[in-house]
Chains A and B, each alone.
Chain A
Amino acid sequence: MLAEQLQENELAAALAAIYPAAITGGAMAHGELTLHIEPDDILAVLEFFKQQQQFERLSTVTAVDRYPLEPRFEIVYHLQSVARNLRVRLKASVTAEIASATAVYAAANWYEREVFDLFGVVFSGHPNPKRIMMPDDWEGHPLRRDFPTHGFKYSYGEQQ
């Protein structure tokens, strides 16, 4: 069910009419629409926004690590409609894996590689699932909350 706040929103209502089970929550805060999407439905929802709601652009894909909560990763998609001058934020909470959005938006390619590199979330079906920022032989995923800021090599926290 849609929250009351979202029922008045045209986009959220249109999405709920087609995929009633896809929206698990959402909010309208600071003038920005956020929709929480069931991870299994993310491709269908992105397709809906692109084909039916004129969201031509995928602005960015990123992740937020909610460690130690489970599921710990929120994958965040920012879409923009140039024709209608609208923006929407989609979020899907996953533990380790989600479908790649490259089939819908080609721009997702590097952003998903970045999320894979820095958070270790796997994007299934990605055409080139390799590290992008860190060296290829790097171990670990630096933007995880349990990765120390100075790395493991220079961690002074615990004396061995």
Chain B
Amino acid sequence: MSETITEPLLHQEPEAGATRRMTLNMGPQHPSTHGVLRVVLELDGEFIEKARPEIGYLHTGIEKQCEALNWQQVITLTDRVDYLANLSNNLCYSLAVEKLLGLEVPPKAQFLRVLLAELTRINSHLVWLGTHALDLGAMTMFFLTFREREDLLRIFEMFSGQRLMTSYIRPGGLALDPPRGWQKPVRAFLDDFPSKIDEYESLLNANPIWLQRTQGIGILPVEEMLEIGITGPLIRAAGIPLDARKMTPYSSYEKFDFKVPTETGNDVFARYTVRMAEMRESLKIVRQALEGMPEGPTRAEAHRVVLPEREKMKTQMEALIYHFKIVTEGIAVPEGEVFQVVESPRGELGYYVVSDGSGKPLRVHMRTPSFGNLQGLPNLVEKRQISDSIAIMGSLDFVLGDCDR
């Protein structure tokens, strides 16, 4: 375990006859760290003897700020945790608060949440694929994946008015009704995208450089992966179907027919295969959600939690009072604690929310997948070459905002 190093890895004179080791700082501004991650490497030639990830450069105290805001204001902070999977974070927090409130969300809102969460998964995987391939020298992928990502961001903008920081899923339902004709761009994306995945695969699966740099790289025994806290596509590429959507279904995932793709290769290539298969499964889920979309409202009938419709506020005194109460005082959440888990694109995302019955959360802890996965980085890269570490870091698919919070 690399964590046993307590002293900083500084230049040390080697013992007589021993090879001299070099200490190399990778990051915090290294392009393959996708954010600000610093890894202190102790090298023996081209081989990594020890790796020590240093995180915290993007620590913004989100958990502390959550304690200072009202229950419904926290939703804007959850967007900023994992900025590539903001709807998954919105969803996880909303589900946790709804659990404490004992609130049932209408079926249409649940289906729309599933639809958006799966589009988010595709969106995040597209960014991962583009940057991962770029790191390994396949530059074209980046342009192709960001072309399709643009379609998705337009869809998010159509729903919520925002491309990235959507804040669209709220406790009690959705922020807004989807605009009229929202099905058209979603359906166009569904029809268009399968051929795009084929295009990506045609560029990579027969590419000898891609195969050499990914196959057989980054293997870790599956027990060690579970032990160190790795989740998501990485653990599924090692053959364990650990997926919260199947194990503890939320937001009516049990009504959808989909598979959890697994691989047994356990290397960087297997993680790539799993994520590509996940995009196809996500498309299936989105199509089912689109075609089976129930009718009805998108917000729960709970006037102490959900803001009233604008039209009602102008005509009904009570609606105006409730609006005033929610906006000024916030919603009151009964005392209790829940740990809500959703499957984010990166793995297990859990919100541990504690309420003392007041208008603000007592504690919001985010169990984020990037933090858990990054902890396994030393185990994955040690005794390997530096160039492999780039492939391995890409396969971890971490977002430093998600890691540092």
* A89 interfacial by beta-carbon distance below 8 Å: yes
* A110 interfacial by beta-carbon distance below 8 Å: yes
B1 touching A127, Cβ below 8 Å: yes
B363 touching A64, Cβ below 8 Å: yes
* A57 interfacial by beta-carbon distance below 8 Å: yes
The interface residues of chain B lying within 8 Å CB-to-CB of A147 are 64
A128 touching B67, Cβ below 8 Å: no
- Beyond A57-B229, A106-B228, A133-B59, whether A30 also contacts B65 by CB under 8 A is no
Residue A30 contacts which of B99, B229, B404 (CB distance < 8 angstroms)?
B99
For chain B, residues 1 to 30, give those with C-beta under 8 angstroms from any C-beta of chain A: 1, 3-6
Could you mark each residue 53-86 of chain A with 1 if its beta carbon is under 8 Å from any beta carbon of chain B, else 0? 0001111101011000000000010100010010
* B350 interfacial by beta-carbon distance below 8 Å: yes
- B contacts with A: majority SS: mixed
A64 touching B242, Cβ below 8 Å: no
Report the nearest B residue to A143, measured CB to CB.
Answer: B64
The interface residues of chain A lying within 8 Å CB-to-CB of B73 are none
* B35 interfacial by beta-carbon distance below 8 Å: no
* B220 interfacial by beta-carbon distance below 8 Å: no
B339 touching A78, Cβ below 8 Å: yes
* B106 interfacial by beta-carbon distance below 8 Å: no
CB distance from B162 to the nearest CB of A (A): 25
The tally of residues in B whose CB lies under 8 Å from a CB in A reads: 43
| 6 closest Cβ pairs, A-B complex | A107-B229, A60-B367, A133-B59, A62-B365, A133-B56, A149-B68
- Beyond A105-B227, A133-B404, whether A127 also contacts B339 by CB under 8 A is no
B4 touching A149, Cβ below 8 Å: no
Which of B61, B247, B405: most chain A CB closer than 10 A?
B61
The interface residues of chain B lying within 8 Å CB-to-CB of A34 are 337
Could you mark each residue 84-95 of chain A with 1 if its beta carbon is under 8 Å from any beta carbon of chain B, else 0? 010101000000
Interchain CA distance A24-B67 in the complex, whole Å? 28
Q: A30-B100, A62-B365, A64-B362 are in contact. List 19 more A-B contacts (CB 8 A).
A: A30-B338, A56-B226, A59-B341, A59-B350, A60-B367, A62-B352, A65-B363, A78-B339, A82-B226, A107-B375, A130-B6, A132-B55, A132-B56, A133-B59, A133-B404, A142-B61, A142-B64, A143-B63, A147-B64
A-B contact pairs, 18 of them (CB 8 A): A32-B338, A56-B226, A56-B227, A60-B352, A64-B354, A64-B362, A78-B339, A106-B227, A107-B227, A118-B63, A127-B1, A127-B3, A127-B4, A128-B5, A132-B55, A133-B59, A133-B404, A135-B56
Report the nearest A residue to B96, measured CB to CB.
Answer: A30
B375 touching A128, Cβ below 8 Å: no
Interchain CA distance A128-B367 in the complex, whole Å? 21
Interchain CA distance A131-B57 in the complex, whole Å? 12
B1 touching A106, Cβ below 8 Å: yes
CB distance from A114 to the nearest CB of B (A): 8
For chain B, residues 227 to 241, give those with C-beta under 8 angstroms from any C-beta of chain A: 227-229, 240
CB distance from B404 to the nearest CB of A (A): 6
B5 touching A107, Cβ below 8 Å: no
Residue B228 contacts which of A64, A82, A87, A107 (CB distance < 8 angstroms)?
A107
Report the nearest B residue to A117, measured CB to CB.
Answer: B56
A82 touching B242, Cβ below 8 Å: yes
Interchain CA distance A92-B363 in the complex, whole Å? 16
Interchain CA distance A60-B6 in the complex, whole Å? 23
The interface residues of chain A lying within 8 Å CB-to-CB of B226 are 56-57, 82
* B372 interfacial by beta-carbon distance below 8 Å: yes
Interchain CA distance A131-B404 in the complex, whole Å? 13
* A96 interfacial by beta-carbon distance below 8 Å: no
The interface residues of chain A lying within 8 Å CB-to-CB of B278 are none
Residue A87 contacts which of B4, B339, B371, B405 (CB distance < 8 angstroms)?
B339
CB distance from B220 to the nearest CB of A (A): 12
The interface residues of chain A lying within 8 Å CB-to-CB of B248 are 85, 87
The interface residues of chain A lying within 8 Å CB-to-CB of B363 are 62, 64-65
A58 touching B64, Cβ below 8 Å: no
* B336 interfacial by beta-carbon distance below 8 Å: yes
CB distance from B2 to the nearest CB of A (A): 9
- Beyond A78-B367, A142-B64, whether A107 also contacts B59 by CB under 8 A is no
Report the nearest B residue to A85, measured CB to CB.
Answer: B247
Interchain CA distance A134-B60 in the complex, whole Å? 10
Residue B375 contacts which of A64, A76, A109, A143 (CB distance < 8 angstroms)?
A109
A107 touching B372, Cβ below 8 Å: yes
Residue B240 contacts which of A78, A82, A133 (CB distance < 8 angstroms)?
A82
The interface residues of chain A lying within 8 Å CB-to-CB of B354 are 64
* A17 interfacial by beta-carbon distance below 8 Å: no
